[in-house]
Amino acid sequence: MKFVIPLLTAVYAGIALIFGIGSLCLLGLAAVELWQAVAPGSAPVATRAAMAIESIGLITVSLMSLEMAQTVVEEEVVRRVQVSAPTRVRRYLSRFLVVVVVALSIESLVGVVEALHGDPADLPRAASVAIGAAALLAAWGVFVRLNKAVEELEPEGMNEAKREDAKVQ
């Protein structure tokens, strides 16, 4: 059974690498899209603005992918933690949810701007993404608050998590 742990570490490293490569590809696409938006041409300003806004959306997803790669590397490859202690669960979920909430918030802003410049009938969809991000943020806050009480029952978990932080730094 001991051979499985290094195998899983290699799989996690591979997943992080794929996240990183995907992030770089999306960043390249965003750069091309942004260049097309600002390059001299005959396209109307509204079309060029929409392209610039779309590039911001691609950059957001790229950033989310890169952050996920970093999280997987730090939590699963460097630290090799087992997500069981309340402190570790809170920290792991918090890192993930920060990325998701920020990405959804930016995507909702991009959707609102696109809907205002394009089809206003798409505004409810953009608003639903914003509402989903807000609900996720509120649920995350409740989780952190409830998890804090559990952490106080297990102070050694926080001390161990702090020692693991030294591995990453």
Q: Which residue has the tokens 């669960």?
A: 89
Could you tell me the pLDDT band of residue 160, with boundaries at 50, 70 and 90? low
Q: What is the CA radius of gyration of the chain?
A: 20
Q: What is the pLDDT of residue 85?
A: 62
Q: What is the pLDDT of residue 22?
A: 95
**Same structural domain for residues 87 and 165?**
yes
Q: What is the pLDDT of residue 84?
A: 56
Q: What is the pLDDT of residues 103-118, one digit of tens each?
A: 888 888 888 887 887 7
Q: What is the pLDDT of residues 51-84, one digit of tens each?
A: 888 898 889 889 888 988 888 888 777 776 655 5
Question: Span 41-55, mean pLDDT?
Answer: 82
Give the C-alpha distances (Å, rounded to integers) separating 84 from 1, 144, 151, 157: 19, 15, 12, 10
Domain boundary among the residues 34, 61, 80 is at 80
Domain boundary among the residues 57, 80, 103 is at 80
Own/partner contacts of 124-132, CB < 8 Å, gap of 24 or more, are: 129/104, 130/104, 130/105, 132/104
Could you tell me the pLDDT band of residue 20, with boundaries at 50, 70 and 90? very high
Helices 123-153, 86-117: inter-axial angle, 10-degree rounding: 170
- Structural domain range at position 152: 82-169
**Same structural domain for residues 118 and 98?**
yes
